[in-house]
Each structure stands twice: as C-alpha cells, then as structure tokens.
Structure 1
Amino acid sequence: MAEKIWFITGVSSGFGRTLAEEVARRGDKVIGTVRQHRQLEEFNAISPGNTFAYMMDVTNADGVRATVDAAVKHLGRLDVLVNNAGFGFLGAVEEASVQEFREVMETNFFGALQVTQAVLPHMRRQGSGHIIQMSSVAGFRSTQGFGVYNASKFALEGMSEALAQEVAPLGIRVSIIEPGPFRTNFAGSSIKGAKQELPEYEGTARVFKNNILGYAGEQEGDPVKAAQVLLQVVDSDNPPLRLPLGQTAYDGVRRKLQQVEQDLQNWEHTATKTSFND
C-alpha cells in the first residue's frame, strides 16, 4: 500500500497522539500540530523521518494557512486530514455564558473549519484526499449538562455532511468519527466547566458532570484500538460518512434514532398536513 501523508491537529497527548503513533508505526508520515515549543522535539522523536511537529493554534486563521502550506511544501502533498484538536465543556445551557459558548465553538467548530478550508485547495489540486472529523457521540445525541459541547460537535457534523456531498465529485472523502468514552485525558485536562453553577441543575447537569469527572482514567475505550479502526477507515474503498466508536457510542446513536423514529410515527399524520389544499 502506498505511503500516506497525514495532517493531525492536537497531537501533544490523548487520542491525537495515539493515532499519530499508530500511523507512524505502519510507515506513513505524520505532520502533527502542537501548541508548545517543548512538544516539538518530543513529537519529532517518536519516529524520526516520519513524524514532523508544527506549532499551530487552530483558532489563528493566518497561522493555520501558513502551517498547512508549509507542510505541503515540505512533504509534497496531504492525503489525510484529521481534525482532532478540541476540548470538552461541562455545564447546563443556562449556566454557561455566551462567551464560554463562543470559546468552545471557536476551537471545536471554527478551528476545524479553518483547517479544513486551508487543506481543501491542496486536496482539490491532487484530486484526492480524506478528511476525518473527530466528533463525538455527543455530536449526534445531546446529554444534560453537555449542551455547550453538543452544540460545537453538532455544528461540526452539520457542516461535514454538506462538505462530504460537495467534495465527493472531486475525489475527496469525508468521515465523521463519533467516539464514546475512551481512556484519554478528555475527562481530565481536556475538559472545562461553566464558571456559574445554579442549584436548580444539581439533579441534571451536575449529575452528568460528576459522572464524567468520576470516571477519568477508567473509561472503557482503548485509544490504540480506536486508532487502528481509523486506519481501516482511511484504507477502505467504501469508508463511512459517520462512524460511532465503542459500544457506548453505538448504543447512544441507536437510542437517538429510536427516539426520532418514535416522534415521526406519533406525529406524521399531523405534521405532514401542512400543504395548500389546491
């Protein structure tokens, strides 16, 4: 199989780091973005000649374009983009300030959008490429106390579904990956919370927050196994548009689909009678 060149955002730790290591292990080349100078040498040392670290903040549009262009100039092309950089956020919708919503959206949605837009001209010129959007089961099914994060991932998925249709004739594929709980630092250093906490949400948003923080380091998912699934997705001749990862994610997606189907059945007769009589 021909060598692929990957561009993965957020490789300093967690799932991005694990995926980069698995990609390099099989002999592909990985451009990984980090946000601290000390992480550059560390990532380059994973597989010298195969792993290349670049400083980049996904929220800096000019920096994103410059980094992507430099990476293409360095290695000649980009075969796979993985928009992995992002963070979680806990708190009820009412508790979170608009500014906190904006900060999450800036990274999780607009950051991924800016990287995608910077990579697309290169993939269009190649006539090939695969964009992997790291969403979450939370990007398909909302949960009390997670509405801010849900909003950012729902936005990413909505944009990506349209993008997949737009770029398919150009030889570019898009896959939305929806992990459930995996044993990364997501429930630790990669998660933030609303500054305001209202007592009215002790039985809803706070319960979810305590559950998330309580299982940090004990999640069911193995990041290495998840990374290996992503390698199969990229190698597939028929990759999925949307792929939940882990049993919890699959169960969550199925519950959402069942709920939607039930609402459709219950209200079809009423909701479809809205056309003019002529």
Structure 2
Amino acid sequence: MTEETDGRVWLITGCSSGFGRELALAALAAGDRVLATARDPKTLADLVESGGDRVRTAALDVTDPAQIDAAVRAALEEFGRIDVLVNNAGHGSVGAVEELTMPELREVLEVMFFGAVALTKAVVPLLREQGSGTIVQISSNGGLLAPPAFGAYCAAKFALEAVSEALAAEVGPLGVKVLIVEPGAFRTSFGGAALRRSRVIDAYAETTAATRALVEGLDGTQAGDPAKAAAAILRAVDAPDAPLRLALGNDAVDSIRGKIAALTKDLDSWEAVSRATALD
C-alpha cells in the first residue's frame, strides 16, 4: 500500500474510454493515485503502464452490489483512503417514449442512476468520516433538458442531478463537495456502439428524426475535447468556489441557457394564474 501522503485517491468508473479514461490520465498527471475501473479491466492495461504504482484497476459493473463493495475495498486496501469518486459509467439511449420497452428504460436507469447512487452511498460514509472529499457525478446537458428521443437517457440524468443536489446540501456542511458535470457533445463513444437504439414506430419519424440523425452521425464529429473536459473537472475539484453544476462545451452552455430562458418565460407568463391558487 502506498502512503496516504502520495496525492489524492480517485475512484473512477467507466475508465475504458472517454471521460473516465481522460480523468484517470489527468489525475495521474497531477500526481494523484487512481483506482480505475471498467467492466473488463483488461481494457485498462495502458493506464497501468502509464501510471505505474499510482494506478490500480478493478472490475466494476455498477449494477452489481458485490463488485461495488469490492472496488471500494480495493481502493482502501491499496491506497488507504478515497478522496474523489467519479460516477462516469453509462451509455447513450435513443428512442421515443412509446418506442422504449420497460426493460430498456430500466436498464438505462440501473446503470446511470441506481448504479451511480449505490456507489455514492458506498463512498459517502468514508468522505463524511474524514471530513473531506468530492463526489463528481458525470451528468449531461441532458440532465436539465430532454430532446425528443432522449427520454430514457435524460430521465436517468435528471434523476441523478436531483439526488445529487439534495446530497450536496446534506454533506456540504460536513466537508464533502458534490460536483455535477454537464457536458455537451464530446469526442467520446457516446454515438457509437455504446448507444442503445429502441424499436422505431413510424408515427414518430418526424418528431425524432433530427435526434436519430444527430446520434447516428455523431461519433467522431463532436466538437468537445475530453482531455480539456478532464482538465476543467480537475480545476473545479480543486477550486474552493466550485459550482454545484459545471457545464462543459459551447453547446451545453447555449442549450442550458435556452432551457432557463424557456422556464423563465413560462413562469412569467403564467405567474398570475400560479399565484391565484392560494386559499382566500
């Protein structure tokens, strides 16, 4: 086991590619230690090669409670503590609400909501007891807005953001930070093989066409740089004035601003009706 003075300890899910891999590399470059996890740890061999003694790997399917417990134990046994948890594991999903089967919806929620919450609950007591640490929830701009055909994916992210907002208020006074990261389109595998596609109902051809076309042509064309995203996340983890929500990418900033404007417009337009519901 390495000494507790040898940099922070990160436990990161979904390190086989994308944000998880880049965050592991960024943490190592900062002198920290990483327990990198993936469903298949063999995909992490290059991280071990680059990080040496400061990297350990573990198999982790976030829907498996036994593997969650084993990953947390591995971090403690190898490094003595956990300072930063990153819930990154997940995949995309496209399909209109009617097109989704209930098993498809549950699968998305199991990974990106229930799995993330289960791992969070496994780590929070450790951070609370040591009076420090950060939980990084990789959400999406889809955690605040839901385009057609992204209902399942956004439902998982909306739910994760809700529980994380409550968590932040609960653990903040105890010295633990929560950071909700809301990326737009970044050069990851989101639009590739990891994307779940539901059956197609002809009636939704028009309303979901733009979203389906977007995701089918997305892989390899995204404007966002995952390495720069990782650097931004590390900056926020280090910052004493870090926001609760960190939007990443021009598209994320613009779409979230658009959602806020639409909410404000509806609230203002119907304010008199809303306020007129009080008992006389």
Same fold (TM over 0.5): yes
Instruction: Give me the whole-angstrom Cα distance separating, in 1, the residues matched to 2:197 and 2:151.
Output: 11
Q: TM-score, normalised by structure 1?
A: 0.96
Q: Is 2:108–2:152's contact at 8 Å kept on the other side of the alignment?
A: yes
Pick from 7, 12, 18: which aligns with 2:11? 7
Q: Is the 8 A contact 1:146 1:205 kept in 2?
A: no
Counterpart residue type for residue 113 of structure 2? F
Cα deviation, residue 4, structure 1 = 1.2
Counterpart of 2:270 in structure 1 is 267
Other-structure match for 2:53: 49
1:48: Cα distance to partner? 0.4
Match of 1:36 in 2: 40
User: What's the counterpart of residue 72 of structure 1?
Assistant: 76
Q: 2:233 aligns with which of 196, 206, 230?
A: 230
Question: Which of the numbers 202, 205, 211 marks the counterpart of 1:202?
Answer: 205
5+ residue gaps, structure 1: none
Give the partner amino acid of 2:197.
G
State the alpha-carbon separation in 2 of the partners of residues 78 and 190 from structure 1: 29
Of 171-180 and 15-24, the range deviating more from structure 2: 15-24
1:40/1:54 contact within 8 Å kept: no
Alignment match, 2:255: 252
Per the alignment, residue 178 of structure 1 pairs with 182
CA RMSD of aligned residues (A): 1.3
Aligned to 1:275, what secondary structure does the other structure show?
coil
Deviation at 1:8, TM superposition (A): 0.5
Equivalents in 1 of 2:10, 2:37: separation in Å? 11
- Give the 3-state SS of the residue equivalent to 1:87 in structure 2: coil
Query: Among 187, 192, 206, which residue is 1:188 paired with?
Result: 192
What is the SS of the residue equivalent to 1:33?
A: strand
Aligned twin of 1:101: 105
Q: Deviation at 1:2?
A: 7.6
8 A Cα contact 1:91 1:206, kept in partner: no
8 Å CA contact 2:39, 2:59 repeated in 1: yes
CA distance in 2 between counterparts of 1:67 and 1:226 reads: 25
Whole-Å separation in 1 of the counterparts to 2:78 and 2:267: 52
Q: What is the percentage of aligned positions where both structures have the same residue?
A: 44
Question: What is the distance in 1 between the residues matched to 2:8 and 2:193?
Answer: 31
TM-score of the superposed pair, with normalisation by structure 2: 0.96
**Alpha-carbon shift at residue 172 of structure 1 (Å):** 0.3
Stretches of structure 2 lacking an aligned partner (at least 5 in a row): none
Report the number of matched residues.
276
What is the rounded CA distance, in whole Å, between the counterparts of 2:151 and 2:19 in structure 1?
A: 22
